[in-house]
Amino acid sequence: MVTRDEVLEVLKTVNDPEVGIDVVNLGLIYDLKIEGEVVKVKMTMTTPNCPLTDWILFDLQKKVEEMKGVKECDIELVWDPPWTPDAISQEARKMLNI
């Protein structure tokens, strides 16, 4: 069975192309559950009007479902709580010089 850490490592390869930072370090991942061969991701975007939402969701789902031991990736896109820059990791803050 796939582990949470393994899924998080794969999610770190899914970048928001507008800022060049991955969805984990941007703080877009709110919850991650693994139920057998199903990975459930609760996440948000930096803004509800993000023009790359579909691309990011497709990339995330594709990469997770390519993992050995995963048959399905369910993504729940939520807007509450709204994302703020406070969610950005220290690692990403250094990359963005903030």
- Strand 29-35 and strand 38-43: the pairing is antiparallel
Helices (H), the chain: 4-11, 53-65, 90-96
Cα 66 from chain centroid (whole Å): 15
Position 96 pLDDT exceeds 90? no
pLDDT tens figures, 25-68: 999 999 999 999 999 999 999 999 999 999 999 999 999 999 99
Q: Would you say residue 93 has pLDDT above 90?
A: yes
Q: What is the pLDDT of residue 72?
A: 98
Q: Inform me whether the pLDDT recorded for 97 exceeds 90.
A: no
Convert the pLDDT of each residue in 1-29 to its tens digit.
899 999 999 999 999 998 899 999 999 99
| Domains defined along the chain, listed by start | 4-96 (3.30.300.130)
How far apart CA 4 and CA 12 sit, in angstroms, is 12
